[in-house]
């Protein structure tokens, strides 16, 4: 979808949808904590929010982009910590580690 | 018409060319597959893992043929092209060399051992004190006798089978393939005058990736996990079936204690192991014992029909005894829990046949447990059994001697019975203290270890019938055992001297179990659907996980044929004997066997054998109870794997590989650039000559 051709209110609605995570109006869970949607939001609307010359809806778009960016970074930090800890200690945790795993590698502890 | 015929001519030509064209796979030009290899696999118990492991995509190493122990410096420190794949002659397959390689395992990719046809002077990869933690001697029972404090049973043991290696170890036979490997080494890998050998070098790749890790509780837990994406079984418990038979049949559906029933148990073990997977011949370790017991059972058949003894005699053949007494611990467990036809209280005494084929000095020894003999009742029964045994050797040329009273029992199934209850018992063996067997639980414990030699000009059928010295001496032992059992069971004293084991049967069994199982006698006693388990080589005595081991089946059918009766039943009656008035499947088992081929025909004379021979499951009670970390029962499991193979090929230097990769990547990027430029300047490069302005309108 080419953002160039959309009118500004539509851009705002889109940005909001991606921020709240209820694209396609499936349901209004809101704040679905979806890191990838937030990443898409940041990358897609970055030019719109910070580079383009000002227009009315740009302030709200800026807020959404900033919040999405923060949320995404938070998620990355949490996930990276958890993944590092799990991969390092899974073998030592024995039973707990096995029950937390979806697929257990063969032949290595 | 001309077109038609030329079309047909072309079609024929193409078909003919197609037939004559062959294709060559690049893979076949690079790799030479090694076919006669045997890997070492991973086994796990409650606390440890033993055996060998390769990485999932195989371990590759530059071949180095080891010449001496000092030559180990080359692969371990001096050699310039690590990792190395070390090729060992069997004389160098020792504990010190293997442990040195284990410590430097980042430079050793794997080991290949060449197993010769002649045996070294001695070699036993088992531990010095077999089954020391699951026997009867512990800190509570005879603490000064536990852990081989008084007698070391297997002093030659180097314990290699119970070490863990994280590189693969394969065995190669001494044949053309091994010569090819050594030639490849001499052509490419030899260091000339101290300088490093030049690439390309000859390398070997070994695949034996094992799925299970750590120990049995871990791998059984991983077997059971349900919600993982791809549930995979990673290990299986070791186990098979025990074979038992009795003089008087028991009803197979009535379990537990039987009133006024006193039984003498005659036991032997069926299995054996070696360092490598499944190649176990166990000639002295197990075959000598169970062949003697089968011969004794046959010797007792007639006299027990004519003059039945007071007590019943139960012949038990235990599987899995090598791995912490799997079979006997299961039978004792079943007896304790009322799942067997008799109870521990029904047992009068036990006579176990241990290793009996190597008696030097013409004496056999009667081992007993000194701790249980402190009880007077038990001591009296044991003394009585000793007397019965010693008096049965009249006229046979050897003596039965009791060793020093304070010596413990050797590793034997009787120890598991004693763990449950003080039962009087004797283990018959050819060694007074340490084993006479120089190759205990190794792949050299074969027919040559028993001096089983046949004159060279005999055909296989003649070899089957030829009575060897080994067969004669085992026949004498079987006669003694049969007579002693008859006396012990309270039989008629006057008939004892008529009991004689048949040397012909013993020599046929020795041939079938140690030289070639596909002989005419074994074919005659087996069932038609099982004849494929008979092979031109001796059977493998490793207990395995598939519950279908060859020795179990052979012993089952032999015991049935030797102690049972041939009947007139037809094949369909043999499968459903309960329809007949006098036959009952609860009391007997009915086996349809192939029979011999009569001289003038090609059809076999098959018939139905009725015998009181049964199979009972021999899987460790630890797996029934779910106690995978049990200290009381065997917890051995064998890992699973996807495929095992070995191949050799020439390998190039790392630098050349990196250069090739670099050039390839460079060519890729250059072509991308060139394509990009061409596409941007396409209109300049590919402009066609301008058409004259066709503005003619």
Map tokens 């009273």 to a residue.
B405
What is the interface size between A and B, counted as CB pairs within 8 Å?
31
Helices and strands, counts by H and E, chain B: 19, 24
Burial class (CB in 10 A: 0-12, 13-18, 19+), B308: middle
State residue B343's pLDDT score: 93
Q: Give pLDDT tens digits for B386-406.
A: 999 999 988 888 899 999 768
Report CA torsion sign: A23, A28, A29, A31: positive
Counting Cα atoms < 13 Å in the Cβ hemisphere of B596 gives 6
**Residue A53 contacts B, CB cutoff 8 Å:** no
Q: Which residue of B has its CA nearest to A107?
A: B211
How confident is the prediction for chain B on average, in pLDDT?
91
For A105, name the nearest residue in chain B, comparing CA atoms only.
B211
State how far residue A35 is from chain B, nearest Cα, in angstroms: 24
User: Do B221 and A103 count as a contact with CB atoms less than 8 A apart?
Assistant: no
Any B CB within 8 A of A7 CB: no
Q: What is the pLDDT of residue B476?
A: 93
Q: Distance between CA atoms of B157 and B151, rounded to whole angstroms?
A: 14
Burial class (CB in 10 A: 0-12, 13-18, 19+), A77: exposed
Q: Residue B1 has what pLDDT?
A: 59
Sign of the Cα torsion B24, B25, B31, B34 reads negative
On the 0-12 / 13-18 / 19+ scale of CB atoms within 10 A, B608 is buried
DSSP notation for B3-68: HHHHHHHHHHHHHHHHHH-----HHHHH-EEE-SEEE---EE-SS-EEEE---TT-EEEEEEE--S
- Give the 3-state DSSP-derived string for B182-226, with helices as H, strands as E and coil as C: HHHHHHHCCCCCCCCCCCCEEEEEEEEEECCCCCHHHHHHHHHCC
**Which residue in chain A has the smallest CA separation from B209?**
A107
Average pLDDT over residues B275-287: 92
- CA torsion through residues B656, B661, B664, B666, sign: negative
pLDDT greater than 70 at residue B529 = yes
B232 touches chain A (CB under 8 A): yes
The structure tokens listed for B524 are: 């005659």
Closest Cβ–Cβ partner in A102, A107, A109 for B210:
A107
Determine the pLDDT at residue A62.
84
Inter-chain residue contact B211 with A107, CB threshold 8 Å:
yes
Give yes or no for residue B510 having a pLDDT over 50.
yes
| Other beta carbons within 10 Å of B585 | 14
The pairing of beta strand B84-89 with beta strand B59-65: parallel
More confident site: B439 or A62: B439
Per DSSP, the residues of chain A read --GGGS-HHHHHHHHHHHHHT-GGG---------HHHHHHHHHHHHIIIIISPP-TTHHHHHHHHHHHHHHHHHHHHHHHHHHHHHHHHTTTTTHHHHHH-SSPPSS--
Contact predicate B380/B414, CB 8 Å: no
Q: Which residue of B has its CA nearest to A99?
A: B225
- The answer to whether residue A100 neighbours chain B at the CB level (below 8 Å) is no
CA distance A97 to chain B (A): 11
The whole-number pLDDT of residue B666 equals 97
Asked if A92 has any chain B CB less than 8 Å from its own CB, the reply is no
Query: What number of CA atoms fall less than 13 Å from residue B618's CA on the CB side?
Result: 34
| DSSP-derived 3-state class of residue B237 | strand
DSSP B673-687: HHHHHHHHTHHHHTP
The predicted structure's pLDDT at residue B688: 67
pLDDT of residue B380: 95
Check if the beta carbon of residue B500 is closer than 8 Å to that of residue B481.
no
- Say whether B228 and A103 touch across the interface (CB within 8 A): yes
Which two three-digit tokens encode residue B93?
């397959």
Which chain B residues contact residue A98 at CB under 8 A? 218, 221-222, 225
B211 vs A: CB within 8 A: yes
Note whether B221 contacts A109, CB cutoff 8 Å. Answer: no
What is the pLDDT at residue A63? 83
Q: Do A103 and B222 touch (CB under 8 A)?
A: no
Query: Which chain A residues touch B44 with a CB distance below 8 Å?
Result: none
Decide if A98 and B209 are in contact by the 8 Å CB cutoff.
no
Question: What are the residues whose beta carbons fall under 8 Å from the beta carbon of B440, sequence distance 6 or more?
Answer: B124, B126, B130, B154, B156, B157, B284, B285
Residue A95: its chain B contacts at CB < 8 A?
A: 221
Q: Do residues A73 and A87 make contact, with C-beta atoms less than 8 angstroms apart?
A: no
Report the gap between the CA of A100 and the closest CA in chain B (Å): 9
Contacts of A103 in chain B (CB under 8 A): 228-230
User: B211 vs A98: CB contact, 8 Å cut-off?
Assistant: no
- For residue A91, the chain B residue with the least C-alpha distance is B214
Question: A99 in contact with B at a CB cutoff of 8 Å?
Answer: yes
Q: Do B221 and A95 touch (CB under 8 A)?
A: yes
- B236, β-bridge pairs: B638
Residue B94 has pLDDT above 90, yes or no: yes
Rounded to 5°, the CA angle B136-B141-B147 comes to: 65
Nearest residue to A75 (alpha-carbon basis) of A41, A109, A103: A41
Q: Mean of the pLDDT values across residues B233-260?
A: 93
Max mean pLDDT range (A47-56, B181-190, B275-284, B323-332): B323-332
* Stretch B426-452: mean pLDDT: 93
pLDDT at residue B93 is higher than 50: yes
Distance from CA of B234 to the nearest CA of A (A): 8
List C-alpha distances in Å: A91 to A109, B75, B303, B458: 6, 32, 63, 60
Instruction: Name beta bridge partners: B641.
Output: B210
Flag whether pLDDT at B58 surpasses 50: yes
On chain B, the residues whose CB falls within 8 A of the CB of A108 are 213
Average pLDDT over residues B237-255: 94
- Using the Cβ of A2 and the Cβ atoms of chain B, whether some distance falls under 8 Å is answered with no
CB contact under 8 A, B225 and A106: no
Cβ-proximal residues to B434 (8 Å cutoff; 6+ apart), any chain:
B151, B152, B153, B154, B155
pLDDT tens by residue, B288-336: 999 999 999 999 999 999 999 999 999 999 999 999 999 999 999 999 9
Distance (Å) of CA B619 to CA B134, B195, B416, B533: 15, 57, 15, 22
pLDDT of residue A52: 79
Best residue in B48, B213, B217, B223 for a mutation probing chain A (most A CBs within 10 Å): B213
Looking at residue B90, the DSSP 8-state letter turns out to be G
pLDDT under 70 in chain A at which residues?
A: 21-33
Q: Interface pTM (ipTM) of the complex?
A: 0.72
In the beta sheet, which residues pair with residue B631? none
Which of A95, A101, A106 lies nearest to residue B211, judging by beta carbons? A106
Q: Residue B345's pLDDT is what?
A: 94
Residue found under tokens 């390092």:
A88
Distance between CA atoms of residues B301 and B304, nearest Å: 6
- For residues B336 and B333, give the distance between their C-alpha atoms in angstroms, rounded to a whole number: 5
A103 in B contact zone (CB under 8 Å): yes
Contact B447, B282 (CB under 8 A): no
Any idea what DSSP says for residue B689? P
Note the pLDDT of residue B507: 95
Measure A102 CA to nearest chain B CA, in Å.
5
CB B425 within 8 A of CB B382: yes
pLDDT recorded at residue A56: 77
């Amino acid at each position: 979808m080419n953002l160039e051709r959309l009118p500004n209110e539509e851009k705002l609605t889109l940005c909001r949808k991606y921020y709240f995570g209820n694209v396609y109006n499936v349901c209004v869970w809101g704040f679905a904590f979806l890191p990838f949607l937030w990443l898409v939001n940041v990358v897609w609307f970055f030019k719109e929010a910070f580079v383009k010359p000002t227009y009315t809806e740009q302030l709200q778009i800026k807020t959404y982009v900033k919040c999405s960016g923060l949320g995404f970074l938070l998620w990355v930090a949490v996930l990276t910590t958890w993944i590092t800890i799990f991969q390092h200690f899974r073998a030592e945790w024995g039973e707990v580690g096995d029950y937390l795993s979806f697929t257990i590698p063969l032949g290595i502890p | 018409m001309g077109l038609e015929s030329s079309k047909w001519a072309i079609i024929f030509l193409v078909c003919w060319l197609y037939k004559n064209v062959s294709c060559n796979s690049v893979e076949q030009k690079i790799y030479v597959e090694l076919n006669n290899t045997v890997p070492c696999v991973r086994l796990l118990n409650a606390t440890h893992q033993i055996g060998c492991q390769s990485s999932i995509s195989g371990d590759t190493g530059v071949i180095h043929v080891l010449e001496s122990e000092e030559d180990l410096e080359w692969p371990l420190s001096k050699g310039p092209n690590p990792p190395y794949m070390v090729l060992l002659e069997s004389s160098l397959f020792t504990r010190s060399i293997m442990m040195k390689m284990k410590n430097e395992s980042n430079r050793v990719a794997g080991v290949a051992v060449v197993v010769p046809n002649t045996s070294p002077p001695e070699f036993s990869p088992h531990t010095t004190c077999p089954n020391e933690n699951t026997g009867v001697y512990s800190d509570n029972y005879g603490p000064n006798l536990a852990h081989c404090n008084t007698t070391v049973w297997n002093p030659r043991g180097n314990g290699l089978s119970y070490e863990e290696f994280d590189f693969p170890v394969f065995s190669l036979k001494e044949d053309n393939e091994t010569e090819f490997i050594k030639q490849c080494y001499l052509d490419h890998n030899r260091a000339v005058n101290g300088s490093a050998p030049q690439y390309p070098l000859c390398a070997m790749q070994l695949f034996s990736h094992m799925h299970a890790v750590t120990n049995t509780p871990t791998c059984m837990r991983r077997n059971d996990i349900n919600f993982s994406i791809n549930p995979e079984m990673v290990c299986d418990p070791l186990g098979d079936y025990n074979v038992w038979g009795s003089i008087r049949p028991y009803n197979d559906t009535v379990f537990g204690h039987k009133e006024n029933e006193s039984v003498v148990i005659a036991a032997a073990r069926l299995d054996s192991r070696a360092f490598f997977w499944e190649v176990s011949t166990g000639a002295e370790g197990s075959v000598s014992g169970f062949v003697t017991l089968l011969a004794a059972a046959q010797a007792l058949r007639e006299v027990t029909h004519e003059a039945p003894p007071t007590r019943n005699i139960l012949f038990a053949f235990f599987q899995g005894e090598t791995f912490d007494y799997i079979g006997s611990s299961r039978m004792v467990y079943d007896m304790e829990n009322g799942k067997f036809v008799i109870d521990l209280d029904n047992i009068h005494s036990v006579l176990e046949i241990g290793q009996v084929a190597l008696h030097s000095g013409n004496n056999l020894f009667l081992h007993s447990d000194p701790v249980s003999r402190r009880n007077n009742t038990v001591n009296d029964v044991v003394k009585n059994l000793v007397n019965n045994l010693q008096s049965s050797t009249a006229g046979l040329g050897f003596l039965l001697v009791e060793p020093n009273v304070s010596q413990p029992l050797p590793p034997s199934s009787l120890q598991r019975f004693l763990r449950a209850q003080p039962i009087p018992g004797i283990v018959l063996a050819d060694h007074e203290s340490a084993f006479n067997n120089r190759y205990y639980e190794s792949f050299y414990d074969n027919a040559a270890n028993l001096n089983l030699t046949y004159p060279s000009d005999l055909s296989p059928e003649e070899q089957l019938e030829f009575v060897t010295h080994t067969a004669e001496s085992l026949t004498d032992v079987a006669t003694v055992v049969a007579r002693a059992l008859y006396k012990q069971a309270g039989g008629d004293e006057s008939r004892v001297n008529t009991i004689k084991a048949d040397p012909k049967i013993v020599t046929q069994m020795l041939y079938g179990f140690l030289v070639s199982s596909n002989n005419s006698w074994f074919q005659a006693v087996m069932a038609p659907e099982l004849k494929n388990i008979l092979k031109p080589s001796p059977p493998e005595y490793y207990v395995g996980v598939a519950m279908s081991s060859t020795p179990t089946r052979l012993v089952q059918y032999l015991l049935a044929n030797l102690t049972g009766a041939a009947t007139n039943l037809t094949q369909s009656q043999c499968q459903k004997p309960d329809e007949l008035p006098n036959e009952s499947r609860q009391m007997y088992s009915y086996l349809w066997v192939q029979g011999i081929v009569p001289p003038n025909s090609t059809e076999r004379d098959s018939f139905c054998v009725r015998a009181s021979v049964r199979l009972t499951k021999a899987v460790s009670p630890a797996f029934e109870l779910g106690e995978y970390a049990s200290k009381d029962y065997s917890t051995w499991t064998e890992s699973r794997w996807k495929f095992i193979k070995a191949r050799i090929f020439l390998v190039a230097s790392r630098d050349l590989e990196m250069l090739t990769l670099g050039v390839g990547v460079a060519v890729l990027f250059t072509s991308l650039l060139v394509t990009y430029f061409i596409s941007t300047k396409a209109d300049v490069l590919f402009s066609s000559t301008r058409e004259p302005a066709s503005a003619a309108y």
